[in-house]
Amino acid sequence: MLHKPGFVLSDGTTLDDLIDRDMNEVSMRVMDDAELYHHEMERIFAKTWLLLGHDSEIPKSGDYVVRDMGEDNVIVARARDGQINVSLNVCPHRGMKVCTAEAGNAPIHRCIYHGWAFRPDGSFIGAPIEKEQMHGSKRTKDELGLKKARVHIYGGLIFATWNIEGPSFDEFLGDAKYYLDQLFCRTDSGLELLGPPQRFVLPCNWKIPSEQSASDGFHTLTLHRSLMEGGVMGGTAESIYDNAPGMYGVDVGFEQGHSLRCLEAAQTFKMFSDMSFEGKTLDERLEMLPPPGITKELIPQLHKNLSPAQVEQLATIPPQVGGMFPNVLVAFIFAPRTDGGSSGALALHAYVPRGPHQVEFVNFIFAEKDCPEQMKRDMLQNSIQQTGTSGLIEQDDADTWPQIQRAARGVMSKTQTLKYQAIHGHEKPEGWQGGGYCYPGFTKDDTQWNWWLAYHRLMSADA
């Protein structure tokens, strides 16, 4: 039953009972409670901006893909005027799913139940036997269109929200935009999606992978240890816990719940080469170890599209992994090639809720539109092998998350808490240009705790 400003579950449990902000602890019950899940759909997935895809998936008029905003299925379509529209995939006549295909091109979407027809922008055209006016006379045709979401295109990424009067997309990004622009808005033509997204369903609550995506770097040291032992992520079996590769950098958190891990390019470079960055200019550093997906020929475009401070960060301590609240993982990974170059991997994961006990893992793989075709093939291969649905990294994660979910079902397990008490505290490094809360040094729990604080704010707001 709902109360203002927060809510109380039917057994009297409050949000503060579940998330102890004094102790930085979260009850394991949050991963297994169906009633709480219902509130999340109303207060988070119906209120905030959600990633649905990329505009390169629907380049032509009439092109569409079908995606999900929480539990709501939507049609993402390009209309005749070139605009991208997101419409609820529910016929206003009898509630049937209007578009039953996953992707395609259609100038008209016709419901198979009674034939009501809609344009790609969601507007209602009519029903069969027009003279009989089977839509009646109580509502105009303008009132009978598909429910439309608010849409924003950012670096080609398609975001939408049902919160029509809510915060703008720029407000949603906040200070994270400074860093994300370095990944998504750095070249003239931008990114393109390398084929349809990979998808599979895991038996776990959406929050388990999503809170890990809030820049949990520490789990890499143990869960992904085999990658380090094999040299994929640097280090050896003997040196992992002494050198802790990838554990030192600057984690950056934001009030909105987003986060990014910025790791020194020189540290990354040492994993793959004995050459030194010492005394090199920014452009020389960028040529020696380009950001994932950037060729030498594209480096001038970095200077054109980004500020000098953003270019400097890309060359020295670039953002590499992190998350966008509530359910997106960002992975821009440096990776070597056999010819000595570095193409890397560009991927986004969306963790789409499928009920309180399941999540759909959606993996988007990108490359710069203007990079060579061979580099696109290399990046696709790198992404599939590492961060794909059967990738080496995701095989580790996909084993762990369902086990946490299984544990959360137990009567005693529900009394246990997730602990986020390794807190560094905000400490802006000297000369740091970007905003947000900075946590330099060894990666700790700050950014994940920021994720839970953002979750708490949305869940405790008025419905």
Which residue ranges in the chain fall short of pLDDT 70? Answer: 1-6, 228, 230-245, 268-275, 335-342, 462-463
63-69: strand order across its sheet: 84-88, 72-78, 63-69, 103-105
The CATH superfamily of 50-162 is: Rieske [2Fe-2S] iron-sulphur domain (2.102.10.10)
pTM (predicted TM-score): 0.94
Token output for 65: 């893909």
Nearest Cα neighbor of 250 from 81, 449, 393, 428 is: 428
Q: Name 344's Cβ contacts closer than 8 Å, sequence gap at least 6.
A: 291, 292, 293, 332, 333, 334, 335, 379, 382
8 three-class SS: strand
On whether the CB atoms of residues 200 and 360 are closer than 8 A, the answer is: yes
Token output for 269: 């470079």
Burial state string for 356-371 with b = 16 or more CB within 10 A and e = fewer than 16: bbbbebbbbbbbbebb
Q: What is the pLDDT of residue 1?
A: 35
Q: What is the pLDDT of residue 449?
A: 98
Give me the residue spans of the domains in the chain. Answer: 50-162, 174-460
What size, in residues, is the chain? 463
- φ/ψ bin of 21: left (φ > 0), alpha (ψ from -120 to 50), beta (otherwise): alpha
* DSSP string of 134-162, one letter each residue: TT-SSS-GGGGSPPB-EEEEETTEEEEES
Query: What are φ and ψ of residue 255, in 5° steps?
Result: -55, -35
Q: What is the dihedral of CA 58, 59, 61, 65, to 10 degrees?
A: 0
CATH number, domain 174-460: 3.90.380.10
Report the amino acid identity of residue 63: D
